[in-house]
Structure 1
């Protein structure tokens, strides 16, 4: 994901661990790399609705990368 978002992988790791606060520009890059939009990053499941499945680890196959 870091490569696809053109963000340093150590920075992404720090984001995942809550050690950094991303800017809106970084959130936009991450959303684009995930094939989503920035609003989806803030979506909270409704009461009784299942939480989204976590992303699988590792890189996506080339056919899914842009």
Structure 2
């Protein structure tokens, strides 16, 4: 899996696992919401500074964004529609 895809996969998995909406993650990290969506789809290449902001907002070490998923791990789920749980 290429690095951009790893970051996208891990970012979405970490965010959804915590029940944080893209809006809340964007607000707490100081990154535009649309940019968070671009990162989760793997269509943008973030800087290390941006990844540090996002990792801090998710309360994880930046290395977690580069973790190779286990073969048994499926595609990260989505949050159900409506209000999302805030961090």
Fold match by TM threshold 0.5: yes
Specify every segment of 5 or more residues in structure 2 that has no aligned partner in the other structure, as ranges.
Answer: 1-24
Structure 1: runs of 5+ lacking an equivalent = none
Structure of higher CA gyration radius: 1
In structure 2, the residue matched to 1:51 is: 73
1:16-45 residue CA offsets vs partner (Å, 9 max, x unmatched): 122210000001011001010101111124
**Cα-Cα RMSD:** 2.4
TM score, norm. by length of structure 2: 0.54
Aligned counterpart for 2:54 among listed residues 30, 33, 38: 30
Greater relative contact order (Cα 8 A, min sep 6): structure 1 or 2? 2
* Alpha-carbon distance in structure 1 between the residues aligned to 2:69 and 2:37: 24
The residue number in structure 1 matching 2:44 is 20
Structure 1 stretches of 4+ with a deviation exceeding 6 A read: none
Task: Give yes or no for the alignment of 1:3 onto 2:44.
Answer: no
